[in-house]
């Protein structure tokens, strides 16, 4: 296959796409609207969002007609690379590493931190090693991975980051990406999450990161919290390497946990039942955690505070976009609210509603965020991530707006005023789980059948008459609100 011809073919397609965008912009100018001159990359697919599938089919057909070699499938997989520094390891001492798919010519890099809870004692780590070994060892990692959601290389699934250099860092340190303890004869396990990130960055510099314009450090769940803990440190490392011109940003998905009182207090005997505050306090000592310096100073060395988003985010220097379900399944689980089996009690309903209110309050001063009123966990690597909307805006669109707002601010966390029709602060106001009609599909656990929002709430014991009375409205009006997501 002649790669030069493929490259030229893709360049022609790129030019056609840019002309399409320019045409859309000129059309808006003709209607008297203010616009900005678009850049050729990243491509803006907003003009065809309503008919993306048909549009991309035409583009692919055009590519195949222009160059016969383009009909051959290009490699879309990320390939495994173990770290050259063998002293930085997974929990069991096996080598840490990362998956990478390079995009020649692109100056945008996306580095994703995987999630997967944590362990905070020998007992909880022994149990984790027996049941979740893939999150503590690299011994059975596959040689390749295919990205989905924001890691996808397909424009129809990932309209704004499809052409980036993509790096997936598997989670095998069980320390919320914070640890700095090696495995020794005295330590049964290594906890080196923060050092794994540092070593990956150093290796990526030799693979083209030294020429990058933007590095987006993203992560989900424990990886999302890991973004908050490491985004400033990654930027500082690049500055130390003489690469201060690289704009480092964070994208924290489902890692914005609360340290509030559990619904039902239990002893701290395992990862799930232990209150987050107590688990993290124990973990920080066990992992020898590294947290952002400014956050540690604000909390007088009580570093466990820095694992909770609303506490650490105001201390960060680099911009971070926060994605958080208002009714996060992981948060409810550690709060001992279980939404399976018996219908929930009235006290649990109040607790669930209060959770949504508490999260809204902690997010109100976050400059860029996306918070749907859904019961779920993680989103940015899900294939349906484009389908979720808040106030009519999808998550990819919100991220593109954020990207534009930061374009001229380097590594500063400040952003310019939102562009017209380009919102950055998106949060649902409806008060119940899944009151947003674009929430992910709910399925009945036993039958697998899809459930409507009303069926789901009724299944959990939702009393329409009582809740309508509490809200001071007629039951039929409440049902209409639930059906429409208002």
Mean pLDDT of 328-343: 78
**221 noted as active-site residue:** yes
For residue 218, what are the CA distances in angstroms to 113, 332, 423? Answer: 6, 23, 20
For residue 222, what are the CA distances in angstroms to 130, 293, 462? Answer: 20, 20, 31
Q: How far is CA 285 from the centre of its chain?
A: 27
Strands 108-113 and 214-220: parallel
**40 noted as active-site residue:** no
Mean pLDDT of 69-76: 50
Rounded to the nearest integer, the mean pLDDT of the chain is 82
- The neighbouring-strand residues paired with 425 are 369
**Contact indicator for 378, 115 with CB cutoff of 8 Å:** yes
Q: How far apart are CA 158 and CA 271, in angstroms?
A: 34
Give pLDDT, residue 340. 61
Q: How far apart are CA 355 and CA 332, in angstroms?
A: 9
Beta strand ranges found along 366-481 (DSSP E): 369-371, 375-376, 389-390, 393-394, 425-427, 442-443, 450-451
**Contact indicator for 484, 428 with CB cutoff of 8 Å:** no
Query: Which of 152, 254, 377, 413 is the catalytic position?
Result: 377
DSSP state of 244: T
Tokens 């929002």 identify what position? 453
Q: What is the pLDDT of residues 381-430, one digit of tens each?
A: 999 999 999 999 999 999 999 999 997 655 555 555 666 778 899 999 98
pTM: predicted TM-score of the whole model, two decimal places:
0.81
Percent of the chain with pLDDT over 70: 72
**434 noted as active-site residue:** no
Three-class secondary structure of residue 139 per DSSP: coil
Identify which has the larger pLDDT, 64 or 169.
169
Q: How far apart are CA 116 and CA 6, in angstroms?
A: 39
Residue 467: how many CA atoms within 13 Å on its side-chain side?
A: 21
Burial class (CB in 10 A: 0-12, 13-18, 19+), 441: exposed
Give pLDDT, residue 57. 59
Give pLDDT, residue 322. 98
Query: Which of 173, 174, 221, 254 is the catalytic position?
Result: 221
**Residue 137 clears pLDDT 80, i.e. is over it:** yes
Confidence category of residue 347, pLDDT binned at 50, 70, 90: confident
The tokens describing 169, both together, are: 């860092």
Q: What is the pLDDT of residues 288-324, one digit of tens each?
A: 999 999 999 999 989 999 999 999 999 999 999 999 9
Query: Which of 44, 175, 328, 335 is the catalytic position?
Result: 328
Return phi, psi of residue 341, to 5°: 80, -120
Percent of the chain with pLDDT over 90: 58
């Amino acid at each position: 296959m002649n790669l030069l011809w493929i490259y030229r073919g893709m360049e022609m397609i790129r030019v056609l796409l840019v002309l399409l965008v320019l045409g859309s912009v000129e059309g808006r100018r003709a209607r008297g609207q203010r616009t900005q001159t678009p850049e050729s990359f990243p491509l803006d697919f907003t003009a065809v969002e309503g008919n993306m599938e048909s549009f991309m089919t035409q583009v692919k057909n055009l590519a195949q007609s222009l160059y016969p070699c383009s009909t051959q499938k290009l490699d879309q997989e990320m390939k495994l690379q173990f770290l050259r520094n063998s002293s930085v390891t997974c929990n069991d001492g096996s080598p840490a590493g990362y998956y990478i798919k390079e995009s020649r010519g692109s100056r945008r890099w996306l580095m994703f931190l995987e999630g997967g809870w944590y362990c905070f004692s020998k007992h909880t780590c022994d149990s984790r090693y027996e049941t979740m070994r893939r999150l503590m060892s690299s011994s059975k990692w596959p040689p390749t991975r295919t990205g989905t959601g924001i890691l996808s290389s397909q424009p129809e699934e990932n309209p704004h980051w499809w052409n980036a250099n993509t790096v997936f860092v598997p989670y095998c340190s069980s320390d919320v990406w914070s640890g700095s303890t090696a495995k020794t004869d005295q330590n049964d396990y290594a906890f080196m999450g923060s050092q794994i990130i540092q070593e990956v960055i150093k290796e990526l510099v030799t693979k083209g990161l030294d020429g990058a314009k933007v590095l987006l450090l993203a992560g989900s769940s424990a990886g999302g919290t890991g973004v908050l803990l490491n985004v400033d440190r990654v930027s500082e490392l690049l500055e130390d390497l003489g690469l201060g011109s690289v704009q480092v940003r964070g994208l924290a998905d489902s890692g914005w946990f609360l340290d509030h009182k559990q619904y039902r207090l239990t002893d701290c005997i395992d990862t799930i039942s232990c209150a987050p505050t107590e688990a993290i306090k124990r973990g920080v000592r066990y992992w020898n955690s590294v947290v952002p310096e400014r956050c540690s100073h604000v909390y007088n060395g009580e570093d466990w505070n820095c694992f909770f988003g609303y506490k650490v985010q105001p201390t960060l220097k680099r911009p971070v976009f926060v994605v958080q379900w208002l009714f996060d399944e992981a948060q409810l689980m550690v709060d001992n609210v279980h939404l399976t089996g018996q219908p929930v009690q009235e006290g649990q309903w109040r607790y669930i509603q209060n959770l949504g209110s508490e999260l809204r309050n902690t997010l109100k001063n976050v400059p860029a965020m996306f918070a749907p009123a859904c019961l779920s966990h993680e989103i940015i690597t899900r294939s349906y991530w484009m389908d979720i909307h808040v106030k009519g805006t999808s998550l990819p669109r919100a991220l593109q707006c954020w990207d534009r707002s930061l374009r001229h601010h380097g590594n500063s966390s400040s952003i310019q005023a939102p562009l017209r029709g380009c919102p950055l602060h998106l949060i649902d106001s409806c008060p119940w789980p899944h009151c947003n009609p674009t929430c992910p599909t709910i399925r009945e656990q036993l039958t697998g059948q899809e459930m409507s929002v009303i069926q789901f709430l009724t299944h959990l014991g939702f009393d329409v008459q009582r809740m309508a009375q509490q809200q001071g409205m007629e039951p039929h009006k409440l049902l209409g609100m639930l059906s429409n997501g208002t």
